[in-house]
Structure 1
Amino acid sequence: MAETRDVAPGEASAQGHPRRWLILAAVGAAQFIVLLDSTIVNVALPSIQRDLDASTSSLQWVMNAYILLFGSLLLLGGRAADILGRRRAFVVGLVVFTLASAACGLASSSEILVGARALQGIGAAPLSAAALSIVVSVFREPKEQGIALTVWSGLGVIGGTVGVVLGGAMVDWADWRWAFWLNVPIGIATLVAAMKLVPALRPGDGTARPRFDLPGAVLAVAGLLMLTYGLIGAAEHGWTSVQTLGPIAGSLIVLALFAVVQLRTQDALMPLRLLAIGRFTVSGLGLLLASGLMITVFYMVSVYEQEVLGYSPLEAGLGMLGMGIGSTLMAFGIPAVLKKLGLERTYLLGSVLLLAGSLLLVDLPTSGSYFTVLLPGTTVIGLGLPACFVSLTTMGVMQVEESESGLASGFLNTLLQVGAALGMATVVTLAAAHTTTQVGEGHGLREAMAAGYSWGFVALAGVAGVSVLVALGFVLGTRKPARARPATGKGASVPVGSDADA
């Protein structure tokens, strides 16, 4: 096995690490299976319920346990990558995630499956945060870094789409357990590649390592756990229940204490000064909105296809290919779009496409052709998601010092997961409530579900509308466009055509 010596960020050449493209492929494969697991179980849930005799509540936690632990530990995982080393955090997370995937496939009860899914989330947190930090560290030349971040961001939508298709194929052709066992060979191959290719990337630039902020870590994890728990439980208990409002109120108190601790700590887990950077804050808010929309679309379309239109799991998975095709087309065209429009206007374009796609899905019938009912809206949403994710991720990570790239990526990824939980909780709760009302008024179940999910897409159109307003306000508030010039982070540059900081 080739030797990978410790490399400080300052030692990288102006072009970056000599094996940077192979490194991108290795860490990208790991990120792909992390994102794939966010959606692959959607179409497998009915089969899991039958095989394990799982209750509706247990079935919900098969999805929620992963989101809960993943979202609450991302910030901690990002800081651990900065302090302990990016490769070390990446490898530890990958090993835990791969072993947990095998445990999911071997689960003999719903309780064991939920526990294994929680363990997957624990491994995914440092894995995902360190992976993005590695990409930022090994790509130093601004144009190449932009390409790498474009590829990285595109993995989100493509991974989610492939997850739904693969999940349907596994259920139809083999067994739902293969939806998890698939991660094992990919994880092992990625681990070998990472140990061979990825340098240790010694934290910092030769200065003393920051101390670990234990009080901040405890408060951050506790606050995010309670917040995520409250959000994902709203779909089951309702927004006004004690089970929902109690954890959310508790999280606000704990996160307020976390903010006080961060202001008084020299080596803070989350330096609040980052939130004073306009582009970084807009990046986080935009990612939260886009992630909530994406995950909710995957869920609602998959359930609508199976429960209302009567599709098989494989047909439901294939029904998401419109989104995947749209995303792939935009991914290939995004470099030209960024060069022409810049980061902020590309985000605005993506938000407008998300709004248009959501509006195309607000009138869902109980029957009809896939090509007229679902394909137009999902394809337009597929076009909009990479435009948002690429521009926002690039905008966010270019604003911080390289030595804090793990922290920044952990924070942005945290907002992605909180956005997913918030989107699922609010929109699915709204859709379920409207469905219940329709049933109470005497409508058939299929008709009621179609009406409920139509209301869900009205809500998603509202989410996309907020994203449009955020993007429009930021575009109008930026200064005159300038050619590539340094951003806040060392060595980072804003691509040609990008707007300056607000």
Structure 2
Amino acid sequence: MLIPSSLRLLVNVFTEPAEQARAIGVFGGCSAVGNVLGLIVGEIFVQSTSWSWVFWFVALVWIPIATLCIFLIPKEKPRLEDAAIRNGPGWKRLDITGLSILTVALILFIFAVTSGATSRWGSPTSLAPLIIAVFLVGGFFYFETTVPADRAAIPPRTWFFSNFLVLFFTALLPFFWIPIGVLAFAMSFTGPLSRKINSKWIILFGEGLCIVATILFAFADRPERYWPYIFPAFVLGSAGAVLIYTHTNMAFYYTSPSSMAGTVGAIFNVALQLGSALGISVVGSIKSSVENTHGGPSSYAGCAAAYWFLLGIVGVEFVGLLVFYRTDNEGTTEDEVLQKANTLNSEQVVMQEKVADAGEGEGERKDAVRGQGMHVNEMPVLPTQGDRNV
């Protein structure tokens, strides 16, 4: 609930494109740094006191932050399209059935893939929830077609926005490629760069950095290779992962109308969490299975195999984005279509005014001809500027 609401608020408060890009970028950078600091702070509490203090610390931090949000967060201005569909209490407009189906499906899916890393993938513990989750997802998409678009949790038309589907699969990568360092925060300030360079090329550059970093990790099989292999891999991989995170997030909003900012933020967050769950379970499963046949946990063969698999995933993402991401119609959302329609209407009004002014001038000329004794029908009719415009 927090991330979609926050992203919707950012989109609606920062309406100027450069400021909006910067705000979303900083938001993404803070999320990346939070992932790193959370692990460090949690480890400190576990070693110094007990695991329960991790949750006490979170509560102690969140209480003052939540209190400040009550006074500092500005009220969201009502939108015309939102007011048009508000004909009852807010909870009645929620797609509770669809949300329930999707929630159960995601829980079962994540449980299945995480169980597969600890038990056999063919065991009933992982296979049964996976099959049920697949059927529930199919049922969810069918159910959404029967719900009005203004009430659906995820309107079916969302997936047909330009580049939306390829961006969804790209959003699986940042938390799938899990090593994220402090450099990630610096990369979050590259948001305004998307106003000068197309998001496609920035994301591809980030994926290229992840490819180089993954190869370096695959060869980091001994401690003396920390500085020549591991350290640059962390630097390049962290920068690449957050470039992907930040600019995929922004490209989502360029692709979809601002009225769907909350829905788009939720979809983006779901993709991130799915990527994280898949990355941990699949990579862990590959690592353990290779170690069982190639030297045990003390061998680097399992880690190397996991990194080579990760390299294949990043490579597929790179090729898919390069081929399927379309830059010719990027940003052609419903909002821009409406804006163009309003512009055309304004031009038509100006055109009609010109035609009316030209008509009045022609009428005065005809009156002058009558005064000279010439029949009006004998006067040559010349095209006016309004006629030429039409």
Q: 2:182 aligns with which of 313, 324, 327?
A: 324
Give the drift of 1:343. 0.8
Give the C-alpha shift of residue 492 in structure 1. 11
8 Å CA contact 2:24–2:191 kept in 1: the answer is no
Structure 2 counterpart SS, 1:446: coil
Partner Cα distance (1:492, 1:286) in 2: 29
Q: In structure 2, do the counterparts of structure 1 residues 175 and 372 end up closer, same or farther at CA, with 3 Å as the change threshold?
A: farther
Q: 1:479 aligns with which of 320, 328, 331?
A: 328
Structure 1 residue 334: Cα displacement: 5.0
Question: Please, which runs of 5 or more residues in structure 2 have no aligned partner?
Answer: 87-91, 340-390
Q: After superposition, what is the alpha-carbon deviation per residue over 1:446-465, rounded to whole angstroms, capped at 9, x for unaligned?
A: 22xx2211211111111211
Deviation at 1:204? Answer: 5.0
Distance in 2 of aligned mates of 1:201 and 1:127: 15
Specify whether residues 451 and 262 from structure 1 end up closer, same or farther in structure 2 by C-alpha distance, changes over 3 A only: same
Q: In structure 2, what is the equivalent of residue 27 of structure 1? A: none
Match of 1:290 in 2: 174
Contact 1:293-1:463 within 8 A present in 2 as well: no
Shift of 1:171: 4.1
In 2, are the aligned partners of 1:238 and 1:429 still within 8 Å (CA)?
Answer: no
Counterpart of 1:446 in structure 2 is 298
Q: Mapping of 1:215-364 within 5 angstroms?
A: 215-266=97-148, 267-294=151-178, 297=179, 323-325=181-183, 327-336=184-193, 338-364=194-220
* Displacement after TM superposition at 1:409 (Å): 0.8
Equivalent residue runs for 1:147-162 within 5 Å: 147-162=22-37
Q: Runs in 1 of length 4+ with deviation above 6 angstroms?
A: 490-493
Letter in 2 for 1:423: G
Deviation at 1:414, TM superposition (A): 0.9
Q: Does 1:146 align with 2:21?
A: yes
Q: Distance in 2 between matches of 1:168 and 1:222?
A: 31
The aligned counterpart of 1:465 is: 315
Q: CA deviation at 1:270?
A: 1.0
How far the C-alpha of 1:473 sits from its partner, in A, is 1.1
Distance of aligned partners of 1:371 and 1:179 in 2 relative to their CA distance in 1, 3 Å threshold: farther
Q: How does 1:365-384 map to 2 (within 5 A)?
A: 365-368=221-224, 370-384=226-240
* Amino acid across the alignment from 1:279: N
Q: What is the distance in 1 between the residues matched to 2:160 and 2:201?
A: 21
Tell me what 1:197 maps to. 72
* Aligned partner (choices 255, 274, 287) of residue 431 of structure 1: 287
C-alpha separation in 2, matches of 1:285 and 1:457:
19
Q: CA deviation at 1:290?
A: 2.4
- Which residue of structure 2 aligns with residue 136 of structure 1? 11
- More displaced, 397-406 or 427-436? 397-406
Structure 2 distance, partners of 1:446, 1:393, is: 39
Deviations 1:420-461 (A, max 9, x none): 1111111111011111222xxxx36422xx221121111111
2:42 maps to which residue? 167
Distance 1:211 1:355 in 2: 44
Q: Any conservation in 1 of the 2:216–2:233 contact (CA below 8 Å)?
A: yes
The letter for the 2-side match of 1:478 is: T
Residues 281 and 161 from structure 1, CA distance in 2 versus in 1: closer, same or farther, beyond 3 angstroms?
same
The answer for the alignment partner of 2:275 in structure 1 is: 419
Q: Which residue of 2 aligns with 1:207?
A: 84
The residue identity in structure 2 corresponding to 1:283 is: L
> Offset at 1:339?
4.2
**Offset, 1:489:** 4.1
Instruction: Give the TM-score taking structure 1 as reference length.
Output: 0.61
**How big is each residue's C-alpha offset from its partner over 1:243-288, in whole Å with a ceiling of 9 and x where there is no partner?**
2221111111111111111101112111010000122222211111
| Cα distance in 2 for residues equivalent to 1:204 and 1:231 | 41
| 1:74-113 paired onto structure 2 within 5 Å | none
In 2, distance between residues paired with 1:136 and 1:410? 14
* Corresponding residue for residue 353 of structure 2: none
Q: Which residue of 2 aligns with 1:97?
A: none
Q: Distance in 2 between matches of 1:467 and 1:346?
A: 14
**The structure with more radius of gyration:** 2
Deviations 1:92-128 (A, max 9, x none): xxxxxxxxxxxxxxxxxxxxxxxxxxxxxxxxxx122
Question: Aligned-pair RMSD on alpha carbons?
Answer: 2.6
Q: Secondary structure at the match of 1:265?
A: coil
Partners of 1:399 and 1:488 within 8 A in 2:
no
Alpha-carbon contact 1:345-1:471 (below 8 Å) kept: no
Identity of aligned residues (%): 22
Q: How many residues matched?
A: 330
Q: Residue by residue, what CA displacement relative to the aligned partner does 1:383-429 show, whole Å, maximum 9, x if unpaired? A: 10121111110111233333322111111111111111111111111
CA spacing shift, 1:349–1:403, aligned 2, 3 Å:
same
Give me the whole-angstrom Cα distance separating, in 2, the residues matched to 1:333 and 1:149: 10
Q: CA deviation at 1:170?
A: 3.5
